[in-house]
Amino acid sequence: QVQLVESGGGLVQAGGSLRLSCAASGRSFSMYAMEWFRQAPGKEREFVAAIEWSLDSTYYADSVKGRFTISRDNAKNTVSLQMNSLNVEDTAVYYCAAERGRYSRVVASIDYWGQGTQVTVSS
C-alpha cells in the first residue's frame, strides 16, 4: 500500500510559476514509477510528467515540455513538479500517481492516486 499526499497548488497569474510536491509513504516505494496527471473541468484526466525511481528517466507531455520539470528525492520519498511559464490552459486539478514498475502514462495502469491539488492560472 502506498499513500500519496500532494501540496503546493494555488492561484497564479499567467507567466508565473508553482511547485507541486507529493509525499509518499508505504512499503516498497522504490518499486514504483511516479507520475503527475491533471484533469480540467469537463475533460479527461491526462498525463503530464513521469519519472522512474531507479533509472531517473523522465518523460513529459508535449504540452508541458520545456516548462515543467519533474524530480524526486529518494531519501525523503517525495516527488516534485516545477511548473514555469504557466498559462490558462494549465488550469486543472493535478494528481500525483504511483505505478508499479516502469511508467506507462496510462490512467488505467496507475496503482495509487493522491487526492489532487488545484492549480488555477488567471489571465
CA-CA-CA-CA dihedral for 89, 49, 43, 17, to nearest 10: -30
The pLDDT-based confidence of 28 (bands split at 50, 70, 90) is confident
The pLDDT-based confidence of 55 (bands split at 50, 70, 90) is low
| 2 in Cβ contact with 24 (< 8 Å) | yes
Task: Give the span between the Cα atoms of 75 and 81, in whole angstroms.
Answer: 17
Q: HSE on the CB side for 74, CA within 13 Å? A: 11
The pLDDT-based confidence of 73 (bands split at 50, 70, 90) is confident
